[in-house]
Amino acid sequence: MKLIVGLGNPGPAYKDTRHNIGFMVIDKLLKSLASTNVSKRTFKGELYKSKDLLLLKPGTFMNLSGQSLQAVANFYKIKSEDVLVIHDEIDLPFAAVRVKVAGGNGGHNGLKSIDSLIGKEYARLRLGIGKPEYKEMVSSYVLSDFDSRERGFLDNFIDYAAEVATAWSSGVAIEKLKSNYTKKDSSYLL
C-alpha cells in the first residue's frame, strides 16, 4: 500500500491559496481514480482508497499535518518510503517541479510536523510557488491566492503534478522521476 499526502489548510478561506496546492493535486487525482472515502475521525483528515493507493488531505492546519499522516500510516502500517508528500515550495519559481527523498524542510511548517512524527525518509513532490520580495511577507504570500498570470497556468501545472504523483504510485523509481519530470520553471506549460 502507498500513501499520497497533499498538504494544505482546511476550510473555504484557504481553498485557492498557494499553500493549498497539495490539496489541489489530491482533488485532481480523485477525479481520475475510482476511489472510496475511508475517513475516520482518528485520521484527522479526508482519506480515500483506490486499490492499493491511499490519498490523504490532512484536516489539521498545515503546522500539524504530521498528526494526520502518522495516524493513517500507523493504521495501515505504511513505511515512510511508501509515502509521497505533495507540497508548495517557495524556494522554487512558480510551476517548477522537483522530486526528492529526505532532506531538510526549508522552513515549511507542514514538513517540520511530518519530520518530527515519522522521520524524513519519505518522497516529496515539491511544487514551486515562487517567493515574495521580502522574507517578512512569506506567511501572507503562501496564504494568498495565485495571481491572474499564475491562474492561467494553474490547471496545467496541477495536471502535471498529478501525472508525476501517478508515476510515483505506479512504482517509477525516484531517480527516474527526477530525470523525467523535473521542471525548472513554467516554460513547459507554454
pLDDT greater than 90 at residue 130: yes
- Domain spanning 2-189, CATH class: alpha beta
pLDDT band at 161 (very low <50, low <70, confident <90, very high): very high
Tell me what pLDDT residue 106 has.
80
CA-nearest of 81, 171, 89, 87 to 118 is 81
Do residues 91 and 9 make contact, with C-beta atoms less than 8 angstroms apart? Answer: no
**Residue 8 class from Cβ within 10 Å (0-12 exposed, 13-18 middle, 19+ buried)?**
buried
Tell me what pLDDT residue 108 has.
87
pLDDT greater than 90 at residue 129: yes
Question: Which residue out of 18, 19, 44, 108 is catalytically annotated?
Answer: 19
Q: What predicted TM-score, i.e. pTM, was given to this entire model?
A: 0.96
Tell me what pLDDT residue 103 has.
86
Domain ranges of the chain: 2-189
Give the model confidence (pLDDT) of 39-95 as tens digits: 999 999 999 999 999 999 999 999 999 999 999 999 999 999 999 999 999 999 999
Beta strand extents in the chain (DSSP E only): 2-6, 36-37, 45-50, 53-58, 83-89, 97-101, 123-128
Cα–Cα dist 83/109, whole Å: 18
Task: Give the largest Cα separation in the chain, rounded.
Answer: 45
Q: Is 108 a catalytic residue?
A: no
